[in-house]
C-alpha cells in the first residue's frame, strides 16, 4: 500500500540525502510577477468519475488559480453504466464515466482530457467516439496520439497522449515532432500499466527521452496510480507520476497524489509547483493532503529537482534565467 512504500522511501531517503526540501525563508525563491502573455496550467493524474457528481472535484476550485487550464487522464469512456462485475478484454474492470462528467470537467477548469490508456476501449470503438463527441460538446479537448490543440492568451499548446503498451510505439517520435511543429509548446503525456511504484519503468524512461528530443516543454506520466519524482531537465519539466485525482472504481487504494502547476510564456516554463492532495477515492471528494510536510520529504527522498516549499506547495528551482523573469 502507499503508506508502506512511503515509509520505506522516507527511511532510505533520510539516510541517503540527509535533508529534505528547504522551507520558505531558507533560500526560497520569490514567486515571479505575472509575465505578459503567460498562462497557468495544472495537471492531475488518473480520474474515473463514474456516476459521481461535481461534489467530488469541487474542492479543486479552492486549490487552483481561477484562470488556470487543467489536464486530467480520463480512465474509461463516457457512456451508460457498465453491468456489475463486467470485465474488459484484459480481464480488468470495465470503467465508464457518466455523460455528466464532461460538463463537470469543464466547470472546474479542465481544458484537455487524455483519452488514451488501458481503459479507452472498455466500450469498444463506439465508446471512444462517444467520449470524444461528448467532451467536444462540453468544450473539453480530447488528447490522443495526434495531439489536441488549445489556444489561450496568444499561445498555442499541443497535448499528446500515448499508451506505452508495453513499450513506446514506433511512431512516438514522429507523433511528438508533428505536434510540436503546430504549437508554441508541446505537452507530452504517457500512460503506463503495472503496479503502483515510485520508480519509473524502462519503457517510460525511453518515452520521456523521446519526448525531450522532440522538444516537449512538459512531460506528464500516469497510469500506475502512484506519485513519483518531479524534475526540471533543460527547458522541460517532468512529472513522473501524479497518482490519482479521483477514482470511483474500488480498484485502487492510492490516496497520496499531487497536482503539477505550471506557468508558461511563449518560450519558457516560468514556474513549476507541486501541490500534494488526497485523492477522492470511492466517492470521497478531493482534499488537501493531511500531511503535506511528509509528502515534501518524500519528494526529496525520490531525488526530485531541488526546490523550496512555499505555503502548501513545492516550487522547483528552474534556474536563474527563468526565476528572474
Domain ranges of the chain: 2-16+38-323
Percent of the chain exceeding pLDDT 70 equals: 82
Residue 138: is its pLDDT beyond 90?
A: yes
Q: How far is residue 90 from each of residues 73, 75, 97, 225, 241, measured CA to CA in Å?
A: 19, 15, 19, 18, 23
Grid coordinates given for 100: 455528466
Residue 125: is its pLDDT beyond 70?
A: no
Residue 66's pLDDT band, with cuts at 50, 70 and 90, is confident
Residue 9: is its pLDDT beyond 80?
A: no
Q: What is the pLDDT of residue 166?
A: 84
Q: What is the pLDDT of residue 14?
A: 42
Q: Is 222 helix (H, G, I), strand (E, B) or coil?
A: strand
Least confident of 44-48, 74-78, 271-275, 293-297: 74-78
Average of pLDDT values for 40-58?
Answer: 96
Contact indicator for 19, 300 with CB cutoff of 8 Å: yes
Distance separating alpha carbons of residues 221 and 204, to the nearest angstrom: 8
Residue 233: is its pLDDT beyond 80?
A: yes
pTM of the predicted structure, to 2 decimals = 0.88
User: For the chain, what is the mean pLDDT?
Assistant: 87
Express each pLDDT in 78-98 by its tens digit: 987 777 767 776 667 888 899
Residue 153: is its pLDDT beyond 60?
A: yes
Higher pLDDT: 223 or 229? It is 229
Least confident of 65-69, 109-113, 184-188, 233-237: 65-69
CATH architecture of 2-16+38-323: 4-Layer Sandwich (3.60)
Q: Is 244 helix (H, G, I), strand (E, B) or coil?
A: strand
C-alpha dihedral sign at 91, 97, 102, 108: negative
Residue 16: is its pLDDT beyond 90?
A: no
Residue 207: is its pLDDT beyond 80?
A: yes
Average of pLDDT values for 199-218?
Answer: 97
Distance separating alpha carbons of residues 81 and 83, to the nearest angstrom: 7
Residue 128's pLDDT band, with cuts at 50, 70 and 90, is low
Residue spans of beta strands (DSSP E) within the chain? 39-48, 69-74, 110-114, 141-143, 148-152, 155-163, 185-191, 218-222, 230-233, 236-239, 244-247, 256-264, 269-278, 280-281, 287-288, 307-310, 313-316
Amino acid at each position: 500500500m502507499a503508506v508502506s512504500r512511503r515509509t520505506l522511501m522516507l527511511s532510505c531517503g533520510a539516510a541517503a540525502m540527509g535533508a529534505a526540501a528547504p522551507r520558505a525563508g531558507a533560500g526560497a525563491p520569490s514567486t515571479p510577477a505575472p509575465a505578459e502573455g503567460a498562462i497557468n496550467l495544472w495537471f492531475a493524474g488518473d480520474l474515473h468519475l463514474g456516476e459521481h457528481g461535481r461534489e467530488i472535484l469541487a474542492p479543486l476550485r479552492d486549490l487552483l488559480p481561477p484562470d488556470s487550464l487543467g489536464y486530467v487522464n480520463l480512465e474509461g469512456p463516457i457512456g451508460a453504466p457498465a453491468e456489475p462485475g463486467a470485465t474488459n478484454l484484459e480481464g480488468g474492470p470495465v470503467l465508464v464515466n457518466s455523460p455528466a462528467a464532461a460538463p463537470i470537467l469543464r466547470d472546474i477548469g479542465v481544458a484537455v482530457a487524455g483519452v488514451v490508456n488501458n481503459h479507452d476501449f472498455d466500450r469498444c470503438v463506439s465508446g471512444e467516439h462517444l467520449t470524444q463527441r461528448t467532451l467536444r460538446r462540453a468544450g473539453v479537448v480530447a488528447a490522443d496520439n495526434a495531439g489536441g490543440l488549445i489556444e489561450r492568451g496568444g499561445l498555442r499548446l499541443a497535448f499528446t497522449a500515448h499508451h506505452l503498451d508495453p513499450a513506446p510505439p514506433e511512431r512516438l517520435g514522429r507523433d511528438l515532432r508533428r505536434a510540436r511543429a503546430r504549437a508554441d509548446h508541446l505537452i507530452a503525456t504517457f500512460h503506463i500499466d503495472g503496479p503502483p511504484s515510485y520508480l519509473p519503468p524502462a519503457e517510460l524512461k525511453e518515452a520521456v527521452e523521446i519526448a525531450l528530443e522532440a522538444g516537449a516543454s512538459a512531460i506528464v506520466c500516469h497510469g500506475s496510480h502512484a506519485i513519483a519524482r518531479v524534475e526540471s531537465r533543460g527547458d522541460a519539466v517532468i512529472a513522473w507520476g501524479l497518482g490519482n485525482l479521483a477514482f470511483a472504481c474500488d480498484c485502487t487504494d492510492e490516496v497520496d497524489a499531487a497536482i503539477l502547476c505550471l506557468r508558461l510564456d511563449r518560450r519558457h516554463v516560468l514556474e513549476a509547483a507541486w501541490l500534494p492532495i488526497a485523492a477522492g477515492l470511492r466517492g470521497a471528494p478531493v482534499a488537501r493532503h493531511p500531511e503535506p510536510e511528509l509528502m515534501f520529504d518524500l519528494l526529496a527522498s525520490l531525488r526530485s529537482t531541488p526546490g523550496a516549499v512555499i505555503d502548501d506547495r513545492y516550487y522547483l528551482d528552474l534556474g536563474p534565467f527563468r526565476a528572474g523573469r
